[in-house]
Structure 1
Amino acid sequence: MYTFQQQLQHIQDGKGFIAALDQSGGSTPKALLGYGIDESQYKDETEMFQLIHEMRTRVISNKNFTEDKILGVILFENTMKGTIDTKPVPTYLLEKNIVPFLKVDKGLEDLNHGVKLMKPIPNLEARLLEAKKLGVFGTKMRSVIYENNPKGIAEIVKQQFAVGLEILACGLIPILEPEVDIHAKEKSEIEAVLKKNIRLELDKLKGNQSIILKLTLPSVPDFYKDLVNHSKVIRVFALSGGYDIETANSLLAKNKGVVASFSRALLNNLKEQQSDDEFSSTLEDAIDSIYNASIT
């Protein structure tokens, strides 16, 4: 099973991408609907989460879901505490040499200054220590930028880095995800302000403090090249952000050194009603296409 240092090396230098399987309470019904299960097929939250766990289990346990193309998986907390083949999910992943991450944010605040900050994250240290005991390597947390408001963008970045430092102090590696909405009117201008603020916070990191970034695919190809090469950035991942898989892959391939951390683009064509062979073939096609875009 991977040691922490081996996991770090795998994430930093490995070929492949991260699968984001971290849909939480608010986004789970939509994810299930995309999978072919509507709300009439479950009566409460318990059944809903059981169904999404079965979907994730079907993906993770598939023969095509392997370390040579999948670097890591971002898990929802319920999934982290669940099992596959009687093993804790992080253990199952580590035995496949795939690195487990935990989504730690608790959703978004209302829009203010053109952004949605993260809501407070209660009991963060206790949750991080529990995750670490289960073998989790790192975390992910998301906030969203909708408008070119320098005050709001600065607040987003400062919050991401402040929580990131708490995560580093607990011995885990944070993925910071200040998402830019793909429909934002001044998307490229927002990305310029975002990058400037990220660089300011990176320069404050000390010693061996390093983070992972997960960013919206930029309007200008290779715009985040200096972040990819920054000594305090372990890796830059890209989110699909609502793009279909073909568009996301096309944009990703234009950004050298950036690799995918896709959710919807990975899962979109998978259906509960598919036979095992159909499901496996569809998943293989998605994995191969995202992998190829990630290593271009």
Structure 2
Amino acid sequence: MNQEQLAKVGSGTGFLAALDQSGGSTPKALEQYGVAESAYSDDDQMFDLMHEFRARIISAPAFGGDRVLAAILFEQTMEREVDGVAVPAYLWGRKQVVPFVKVDEGLAAEKDGVRLMKPFTRLDGLLERATRRGVFGTKMRSFIAGPDRGGVAAVLDQQFDYAGRILDAGLVPIIEPEVDIHSGGKAAAEELLLAGIVDRLAGVPDGRQVMLKLSIPSQDDFYAGLIAHPKVLRVVALSGGYTQAEADERLARNRGLIASFSRALTQDLRRDQSDAEFNRVLDKAIGDIYRASAA
């Protein structure tokens, strides 16, 4: 494991950029960027356009390791290049941004108030390729719609089971059990989630650490114990559908919790912006998210 990357992710000041939209979320991300569905006729063209967008972000002057600690990549992005350099190597070598990769294969249908991840069918090969390309860690997302005790337990059992395999491969897993920010039972679901995470952290071998990516909690500093836990490298927050301004404001009230935003990072970026305007807008977004993470 790269010790410089470990130190940066574990104790650096900044946030994680989530650039890992996959097939289901890509059309919406492109539409927000200003690319209509009529601009592409198949998935290959769609992903080419999405890579163009991501490469523009990654290569922008505003995007650098002084404020962005790490970037979470879609598997295809990990395999592509920016300016003729493999994306993970470009991120770390030119930007000092630590690369992660999304490893889940999407969500199953809702049951017991949650959506588990679909069973992983190619994890071992993906981890091997990620290691070969210099990727530091992984991310996998589940979804919790409400406070069902059995559902939350199933989500965490699945997440921690895969996390063990990822740790065995020498990578650091980001466990993301997202709680629906619109749920009337959000606070109750977070109570179940916190207790379940603490229980399962006891099973993580001594000397190993996982990361957690959680919805910004209903109660400020609710995850303070996880942030200080010796088996947790870092706790990061997803924006979960909040606007950037609201996500930043909520995040800043939670000491030690840093951002891992996607939509809130890119919401004002447009394809028809000049490079100077694109960089200005990105710089403002990065600055606002950085300040909220450093609060």
Same fold (TM over 0.5): yes
Match of 1:275 in 2: 274
Q: Among 4, 7, 10, which residue is 1:6 paired with?
A: 4
The residue matched to 2:71 in structure 1 has which SS? strand
Q: CA deviation at 1:205?
A: 1.2
Show structure 1 runs of 4+ deviating over 2 A: none
Match of 1:15 in 2: 13
Match of 2:36 in 1: 38
The answer to whether 1:136 aligns with 2:135 is yes
Letter in 2 for 1:215: L
Q: CA deviation at 1:126?
A: 1.1
1:195-214 alignment runs, 5 A limit: 195-214=194-213
1:169-248 alignment runs, 5 A limit: 169-248=168-247
Letter in 1 for 2:44: T
The answer to whether 1:52 aligns with 2:50 is yes
The answer to whether 1:146 aligns with 2:125 is no
1:84-95 alignment runs, 5 A limit: 84-95=82-93
Q: CA deviation at 1:123?
A: 1.8
Q: CA deviation at 1:121?
A: 1.0
The answer to whether 1:168 aligns with 2:164 is no
Q: CA deviation at 1:40?
A: 0.4
Match of 2:75 in 1: 77
The residue matched to 2:277 in structure 1 has which SS? helix
Given the two structures, how large is their TM-score scaled by the length of structure 1? 0.99
Given the two structures, how large is their TM-score scaled by the length of structure 2? 0.99
- The answer to whether the 8 A contact 2:206-2:231 is kept is no
Task: Structure 1 unaligned segments of length 5 or more: list them.
Answer: none
Q: CA deviation at 1:81?
A: 0.2
Match of 2:108 in 1: 109
- The answer to whether the 8 A contact 2:107-2:116 is kept is yes
CA distance in structure 1 between the aligned counterparts of 2:92 and 2:139, rounded to whole angstroms: 18
Q: CA deviation at 1:144?
A: 0.3
Q: CA deviation at 1:207?
A: 2.0
Instruction: State the identity as a percent.
Output: 49
CA distance in structure 2 between the aligned counterparts of 1:126 and 1:75, rounded to whole angstroms: 16
Number of residues of Structure 1 aligned to a counterpart in Structure 2:
294
CA distance in structure 2 between the aligned counterparts of 1:160 and 1:59, rounded to whole angstroms: 30
What are the superposed Cα offsets for residues 129-184 of structure 1, whole Å, 9 maximum, x if unpaired? 11100000000000000011000001101111000000000000000000001011
- The answer to whether the 8 A contact 2:237-2:259 is kept is yes
